[in-house]
Amino acid sequence: MTDQNQQPNDSDDEVKQTKSEHATRQTDDRQKRAQFEQEEQEYLARVKQSMIDDDLFEPITHEDMRGIIKEARKNHQSRSSGDGSQKPRFVLPRRYRLFAIVLALFMVIQAVALLATTFSIPVVDFLITSHELSNDPVIKEDKEAIVIVDTGTGRGTGFVVARDGYIITNAHVVDQETTVTIGLHDQSLLTGEVIEAMPAVDLALIKVDQTFDVVLPLSETVPTLDTPVHFIGNPLRFNRIANAGTFIEREGRSSLDTPVYYLDAPVYRGNSGSPVINENGAVEGIVYATRDDRTYGKVGLVIPASVAADVFQAYLSPDQQE
């Protein structure tokens, strides 16, 4: 009996709770609708005000505004959903177009000029010559002693002169740096310490923590005129390019504190520090510059290797140069 009397009471409570929740939802819905209508009216007022033009005022009805807002919202949703609609393109103002065209033409001309400089007929010739000379086993081995000297702002050529890691190049190549990056023939990189730099004779000595199997010893005699020689360097961003030449004259007038020699050979930027090697495998000179001579045309300027042997003798042990 007790259970039967309680059942109707439980049902009444559930009905009351349901009615209460329904009434609460209706109240919330009315409040939200009223708030939405108020916000919409405020938004319509702001949009309408922003569309008023003092000179071309035309009344806009409430329904017109609804249509405008609906269309604007639709466009906004379409852009947000990434439906592939195109974004407004940036158009360069006409007054800047001529400048842009001139700048583009200038860049094209510069690129063509660089290619013409790098791949001119003489340059192609020295690349062909280098390939032919590299078939010589002696020259091929000499290339292993040639290094790239890179300061970060420029680069030149150096060569290993002693097995315990001494390298010779020009003083202007190291450019007052105390350390430089050395690139070896196997493409490995080392940090080189500039031991001595002597601008008066444009020579520098670098030390790396490496032992070498192939070295290029210095000749203690002056270069021999009219005798074929070869030299190896890193001209025009090429690496270890071999070329042939001949010493043609001793030049007494020089900006250095030593006589220099003319080398009849294709010498280019990047050849600074290149060793000039005789038929016996000894370095007779170090390339440091070029000159346009009235008699011979463009020639390479070479410092005698005997000068390097003299100024660096305190560091170079004879047994390390063999």
Residues with catalytic annotation? 172, 202, 272
Length of the chain: 322
Can you state the angle between helices 2-50 and 62-80, rounded to 10 degrees? 100
> Residue 208 CB: number of other CB atoms within 10 A?
20
Backbone angles phi, psi at 42, to 5 degrees: -65, -40
Instruction: Give the CA-trace dihedral at 186, 190, 196, 199, to 10 degrees.
Output: 70
Largest CA-CA distance found in the chain, in angstroms, rounded: 137
Helix (H, G, I), strand (E, B) or coil at 214: coil
Round to whole Å and give the CA distance between 20 and 25: 9
User: Residue 195: what residue type?
Assistant: I
Round to whole Å and give the CA distance between 168 and 82: 64
Round to whole Å and give the CA distance between 99 and 116: 26
Residues 6+ apart with CB under 8 A from 279: 227, 228, 229
Q: Cβ(190)–Cβ(182) under 8 Å?
A: yes
Q: Cβ(245)–Cβ(230) under 8 Å?
A: yes
